[in-house]
Amino acid sequence: MKPGLMWLACLLAGVLLTDTRAGWQVGVAKADITPTEPVPLAGYSGAARMHVRTDHPIWLKALAIRPDDGPLAVLVTADLVGLSTRMVERIVRDAAARGVSRAGLVLNSSHNHSCPVTEDVLWLYYEFTAEQTAACERYTERVYSQYDAVIAGAIADLGPAELSFGQGLAGVAVNRRRARGPGTRQFGGQVDQDVPVIVARSGDKLRAVVFGYSCHTTALGGLSVNGDYAGFAQLELEERYPEAVALFVQNCGGDANPLPRIRGNDPGADAAALALAANYGRILAEAVSQTLTAPLRPLPATLSLAMGGTKLALEPGLPLEELRERVPQMSGLPKRAFNHFIRQYETEGGLPGEVEYPIQVWRFGPELTFIALTGETVVDYSLQLKARYGWESTWVCGYNNDLLSYIPSRRVLREGGYEGITGMYEYGHRAPYTDDVEQRILTEVDRLIRGPAPPSGGGAGGQ
């Protein structure tokens, strides 16, 4: 062989060798967080709802991924209603001690309304006795230790695997702004019924199925612990694929509900609601199974992690004199919110005018851009970002980090109503977001996608 050809052959061999060696390391772990004593249930305000039974266990699940010579990333999914800033800070600190960077840790909650209250999540919703508070504190400590355990477990489980991506479709979500009852103002209702799926395999063994959907987990609202429709879907998938861990990611379901829903305290209504939730879970599981039967797109073993954020501005709040004047006539959650505002005036000299809004972007080369937003994002964020960065190569999820508030789009803000206007007090915010909320978020997502990790080959790149 001529020296020039020899050089070329060596180069090609080197390239081929590098390509065949490049792969993913993947690890999974799960931890049961079903309460073991009576605890107050989360998600709905009003009188404390002490749980009286468990329909099926609830879980924390973690997927650790790392390309050979690439950064470690861990996705943790939770059958919880959400996390608070305080919870996120502690979980992040524990994860950092295990070598997980902030950008590499996505904490998603299914927004399950049939789980226990933890720490100070939605703290204005509840008024507990000392005994109920103590039960919450014991449960919260267990949840912290299980977060640490699943993150450690997934990292310890890292081993060679392949990742692939596909999308299915499930008709469970209905836009709840359209479906409000008679006598209420209704709006045209968009939904995102896509079911994005990431699959991890080691040879023939299916190790993890990560699937997402944009819909509130509010098919149920009784006195039992369960994972709602998302819990049923995970159960169903783990029965169908016994070697795999199924992880549910809540996407942008801020303004979507599974409908119809059945409510009522009698045993008949309770059983009917449970059957309905199980059926929604089966529909979603079936969408995932169908996706798995079609050819999936392999994800190249390349990963870039970006963490950023923006500040969301709030409209002015009520003056202190008006709060003091109105609070004696109030009760329940609104009264607690107003008293909270009065305390802020007294201790901080005013009401905070903006909130922190963290955003993460994980890029799997040109094949997939995974955008993790904070709070109860409405459907427009999913639809707009997929339209901008590629319907087949973009996964947008909300309900990461702290629960924060509803995150309305400009459209939802202008329509008015619960998501974005009247719901803001519940989260302790002085007023609705300013009209530029959507623009601030989209601009920061764009900066994270274009800035730190420019597209390597089109596809997912910012067209």
Q: How many residues at the interface with Zn ion, by CB under 5 A?
A: 1
Is 269:417 a contact under the CB 8 Å cutoff?
Answer: no
Nearer residue to Zn ion within complex by CB, 236 or 376: 376
Is 410:342 a contact under the CB 8 Å cutoff?
Answer: no
Nearer residue to Zn ion within complex by CB, 395 or 427: 427
Query: Least distance from C-beta 312 to Zn ion, angstroms?
Result: 17
Site string for Zn ion, 321-360 (x = CB under 5 A): ----------------------------------------
Nearer residue to Zn ion within complex by CB, 308 or 423: 423
Query: Least distance from C-beta 351 to Zn ion, angstroms?
Result: 23
Query: Which segments of 53-203 are extended strands (E)?
Result: 53-54, 59-67, 73-78, 105-109, 159-169, 173-175, 194-202
Is 224:114 a contact under the CB 8 Å cutoff?
Answer: yes
Is 387:419 a contact under the CB 8 Å cutoff?
Answer: no
Q: Half-sphere exposure (CA, 13 Å, Cβ side) for 163?
A: 24
Query: Least distance from C-beta 81 to Zn ion, angstroms?
Result: 8
Nearer residue to Zn ion within complex by CB, 376 or 402: 376
Q: Binders of Zn ion among 364-393, rule CB under 5 A? A: 376
Query: Least distance from C-beta 446 to Zn ion, angstroms?
Result: 26
Count the Cβ atoms, other than its own, within 10 Å of residue 416: 15
Query: Least distance from C-beta 183 to Zn ion, angstroms?
Result: 22
Cα three-residue angle 281-287-293, rounded to 5 degrees: 135
Query: Least distance from C-beta 45 to Zn ion, angstroms?
Result: 11
Is 147:60 a contact under the CB 8 Å cutoff?
Answer: yes
DSSP string spanning 279-348?
Answer: HHHHHHHHHHHHHHHSPPEEPPS--EEEEEEEEEEB-----HHHHHHHGGG--HHHHHHHHHHHHHHHHH
Query: Least distance from C-beta 253 to Zn ion, angstroms?
Result: 8
Nearer residue to Zn ion within complex by CB, 229 or 389: 229
Nearer residue to Zn ion within complex by CB, 376 or 444: 376
Strand partners, 169: 194
Q: Which residue has the tokens 């395999």?
A: 201
Q: Say what angle helices 228-240 and 267-293 make with each other, to 10 degrees.
A: 50
Nearest-CB residue for Zn ion: 376
Query: Least distance from C-beta 113 to Zn ion, angstroms?
Result: 8
Nearer residue to Zn ion within complex by CB, 79 or 376: 376
Nearer residue to Zn ion within complex by CB, 51 or 111: 111
Applying CB under 5 A, which residues contact Zn ion?
376
